[in-house]
Amino acid sequence: MIEIEGLTKKFGPIAAVAGIDLRVAKGEVLGFLGPNGAGKSTTMKMVTGYLAPDSGSARICGFDVEIDPISAQRSIGYLPEGAPAYGDMTPRQFLEFIAHVRGFSGAAAKSRVDTAVGKTELVAVLDQPIETLSKGFKRRVGLAQAILHDPPVLIMDEPTDGLDPNQKYSVRTLLKAMAPEKAIIISTHLLEEVEAVCTRAVIIDRGRVVADGTPSELLARSRHHNAVTLILPASQAEIANAKLRQLNGVSTVEQKPNAKGTVELTAFPKSGALLIESVSTLALAERWDVRELYAEPGRLDEVFRAITTHDAARAREIRS
Amino acid sequence: MNSVWPIFRREFTAYFATPLAYVFIVIFLFAMGAFTFYIGHFYENGVADLSVFFAYHPWLYLFLVPAISMRLWAEERRTGTMELLLTLPVPLWATVVGKYLAAWAFTGVALLLTFPIWITVNYLGHPDNGVILASYVGSLLMAGAYLAIGASISASTSNQVIAFIVSVVVCFLFTISGAPLVLDFFRLWAPLVLVNAVSSFSFLTHFSAITTGVIDLRDLVFFFSLIALFLTANVVIVDLKKTG
């Protein structure tokens, strides 16, 4: 439903977006990740028709955003960066305005507004001016505005920014509930959000896609993927460390002091090896006093850093 | 056309959601009164017409209209609502026209509220109400032209102060271009055609023609084409900004 081809945008000499290709199908929730200034917002602005691309194209439900912006924009619900809204209006007035602009009137407009208000839990603040609302409510007004017309495509720039954990949870639940019927792109800095709601994660860096896969595929790239961590009393640490190193499939073991005289040992697998079984068998056989034992799925932040830490590291590589 | 209405309505109610509308209207009416009675010597003239009242409209508009138009686009740009507005399924021209008409209607309301002076002059004597009506129409058209200029300037910046100052200067040039101050300068050396051309851009010339009570087609064409020209410029400016 979203087809992006070779999208490029330059601001002066800097290429904010340098040729992005993406296709998002119905039922997909795509998490758009990247460091600040990677081009996430710029890409979203081009896809929604706010910025004109230098080259490339974006099609929404078959409509080219450049050629037929109105048809494309009808199919999009868009939450711009910072969830802008008219501060002097109340959420009710604002949402009614959006409903009217989107071609609903009378009872249809009212029921659209009511549904959106219900889904985003805005009832309590419906008649307060938006400028007096907290950050979380403002964000939810933006969300309500985006889902009001039940669009097939949702594009949201940091939908949970500024929300408290409960609000984040309810927004994620809302997104997941809508996901089967829609193609959704959300940008976020929160890696846990990707694991929580996204079916696909795309990392962009300096205007290019540098990784594209399911969250578990990205996790598999992590050094911690399938690593096993044990927490033991400090007295047993040395022996355990040595035994773990000899274990089949273990590439290396890291040791960190932990609270209350315990030590955290993490055994990293050789590629593809599964360690949890052999490590737990070993611990039983050796009668270690294990306080905790768990296998790690991998760490997204580690993958994220590995992929996007560029400038300094790469510059050093090139020089040497 | 359907999409102009909600844009218009939102913009128009926005004036009254803040003190802007009330402050503007009070100052507008106060200034109108002050100019008419104290500077224009409305009573002392002893003539039952509103020519002194209308004579000061161009000069008041010069400062008050840019105060309305300056926020029209600059504020949307500054608060980020521009992005929301331009990604809604509304043709750009409809957004431009809707916002413009709202500002114009608001000016119309302010102008309408000067009606006590019309009652006063009718109480005092027997003025030619046709002339007064024509003058009101002319005044509204002139305000519309100032607004269109101000709107397109507002679209080019996110700074309201800049929008205001530049609008005042541009409006001033359009106002004064028929005055002796400018024309005498051109008469010294320029051919008559050029002098007439410069003079023909003057709001004062066209407005004072209308205030004599004759709504000439040429004056209507002048104001409407000027409005159309600047609204087109407004569309182009907003569109150009999309290319970053």
Return the top range by mean pLDDT from A270-274, B117-121, B186-190: B117-121
Give the pLDDT of residue B98: 96
Decide the pairing of beta strands A228-233 and A292-295: antiparallel
Contact B242 A71 (CB under 8 A): no
Give the one of A76, A80, A101 whose C-beta lies nearest to B80's C-beta.
A80
Contact B129, B115 (CB under 8 A): no
Domain residues for B102?
4-242
Mean pLDDT (chain A, rounded): 88
Angle value at C-alpha B218, between B214 and B219, nearest 5 degrees = 60
ipTM exceeding 0.90, yes/no: no
Query: From the list B6, B89, B244, which residue is nearest A100 (CB)?
Result: B6
- Least confident among A13-17, A92-96, B198-202: B198-202
- Which of B110, B134, B94 lies closest to B31 in space, CA to CA? B110
Tell me what pLDDT residue B200 has: 79
Across the interface, which of B84, B89, B243 has its CB nearest the CB of A102?
Answer: B89
User: Between B14, B79, B88, which is nearest A73 by CB?
Assistant: B88
Which of A78, A81, A88 is facing B18, going by the closest CB pair? Answer: A88
CB contact under 8 A, A100 and B81: no
Nearest Cα residue in chain A from B81: A84
List residues of chain B with CB under 8 Å from any CB of chain A.
2-3, 5-7, 9-10, 13-14, 17-18, 79-81, 83-84, 86-91, 242-244
Structural tokens at position A263: 């030590």
- Count Cβ neighbours within 10 Å for each residue of A141-172 and write b for 16 or more, e otherwise: bbbbbbbbbebbbbbbbbbbbbbeeebbebbb
Identify which of B6, B81, B83 has the shortest CB distance to residue A101: B6
Q: For residue B187, what pLDDT band results from cuts at 50, 70 and 90?
A: confident
Count of C-beta atoms within a 10 Å radius of residue B176 = 18
Segment B126-147 shows an average pLDDT of 93
d(CA B71, CA B161): 9
pLDDT tens digits, A49-68: 999 999 999 999 999 999 99
Chain B partners of A9 at a C-beta cutoff of 8 Å? Answer: 244
Lowest mean pLDDT among A274-283, B42-51, B95-104: B42-51
Q: Is B80–A145 a contact, with Cβ atoms under 8 angstroms apart?
A: no
Given a cut of 90, whether residue B39 has pLDDT beyond it is no
Q: B4-13: per-residue pLDDT in tens? A: 999 999 999 9
For the ranges A183-192, B172-181, B212-221, the lowest mean pLDDT is seen at: B172-181
Other residues' Cβ atoms within 10 Å of the Cβ of residue B239 = 15
What six digits make up the tokens of A238?
């040395």
Residue B168: pLDDT above 70?
Answer: yes
Of the residues B3, B12, B73, B84, the best mutation for testing chain A's interface (the one with the most A CB atoms within 10 Å of its CB) is: B84
Give B24-31's long-range contacts (Cβ < 8 A, gap of 24+). Answer: B24/B64, B24/B67, B24/B68, B24/B110, B25/B109, B25/B110, B25/B113, B27/B64, B28/B60, B28/B64, B28/B110, B28/B113, B29/B110, B29/B113, B29/B114, B31/B60, B31/B64
- For A17-40, the pLDDT digits (tens) are 999 999 999 999 999 998 888 889
Parse chain A into domains and list their residue ranges. Answer: 2-220, 228-296
Note the pLDDT tens digit of each residue in A198-229. Answer: 999 999 988 889 888 888 888 888 888 888 88
Helices (H) and strands (E) in chain B, counts: 15, 0
CA distances from B62 to A62, B66, B172 (A): 49, 7, 7
* Domain A228-296 = CATH 3.30.70.100: yes
What are A138-152's pLDDT values in tens digits?
A: 999 999 999 999 999
Q: Residue B167 and residue A224: Cα distance in Å, rounded?
A: 62
In this complex, the residue of A11, A48, A85 whose CB is nearest that of residue B87 is A48
Is the CB of A86 less than 8 angstroms away from the CB of B3?
no
- Residue A153 carries which DSSP code? E
CA distance A225 to A219: 6
pLDDT of residue A255: 84
Q: Which residue of A has its CA nearest to B17?
A: A88
**Would you list which residues of chain A are within 8 Å, Cβ to Cβ, of chain B?**
9, 11, 45, 48-52, 69-71, 73-74, 76, 78, 80-82, 84-89, 93, 97-98, 100-103, 129, 145
For residue A317, is pLDDT > 60?
no
What average pLDDT does this structure show over B131-150? 94
d(CA A314, CA A289): 44
Q: What is the pLDDT of residue B204?
A: 84
Are residues B244 and A11, on separate chains, in Cβ contact within 8 Å? yes
Per-residue pLDDT, averaged over B46-56, amounts to 82
Note whether A80 contacts B242, CB cutoff 8 Å. no
Q: So what's the pLDDT on residue A310?
A: 63
* CATH (one of 3.40.50.300, 3.40.50.720, 2.70.40.10, 3.90.100.10) for A2-220: 3.40.50.300
What percentage of chain A carries pLDDT values higher than 90?
49
Residue A87 has pLDDT above 70, yes or no: yes
Give the Å distances, CA to CA, from B101 to B28, B36, B136.
Answer: 19, 28, 17
Q: Do A84 and B243 touch (CB under 8 A)?
A: no
Contact B87 A73 (CB under 8 A): yes
In chain A, residues with a C-beta closer than 8 Å to the C-beta of B18 are 88
Q: Is the pTM of this model over 0.95?
A: no
Starting at the earlier edge strand, list the strands of the sheet with A2-11. Answer: A14-24, A2-11, A55-60, A63-64
Residues 6+ positions from A238 with CB-CB distance below 8 Å: none
- Structurally, chain B folds into a number of domains equal to 1
Closest CA to B132 of B113, B115, B108, B109: B115
* Best to test chain A binding among B10, B16, B79 (most A CBs inside 10 Å): B10
Q: Provide the pLDDT confidence category of residue B244 given band limits of 50, 70 and 90.
A: low
- Which of A9, A78, A86 has the CB atom closest to B81's CB atom? A86
Q: What residues does A231 pair with on adjacent strands?
A: A264, A292
Q: State how far the Cα of B91 lies from the Cα of A92, in Å rounded to an integer.
A: 24
Nearest to A287 by CA among A252, A253, A236, A247: A236
Confidence check: pLDDT of B171 > 70: yes
Are the Cβ atoms of A84 and B83 closer than 8 angstroms? yes
| A92 touches A126 (CB < 8 A) | yes
CB B208 within 8 A of CB B179: no
Which H or E run includes B207? Answer: helix B203-211
pLDDT, tens digit, 9 for 90 and up, residues A62-86? 999 999 999 999 999 999 999 999 9
Q: Is pLDDT above 70 for A313?
A: no
Q: Model confidence at A319, in pLDDT bands (50, 70, 90)?
A: low
Most A CBs within 10 A among B88, B99, B235, B238, hence the mutation to make, goes to B88
pLDDT score recorded for residue A266: 87
Query: Which residues are CB-neighbours of B22 under 8 A, at least 6 positions away?
Result: B16
What is the β-pairing status of strands A262-269 and A250-257? antiparallel
**Among the listed residues A203, A212, A206, the one whose alpha carbon sits nearest the alpha carbon of residue A10:** A206
Express as a percent the part of chain B with pLDDT over 90. Answer: 56
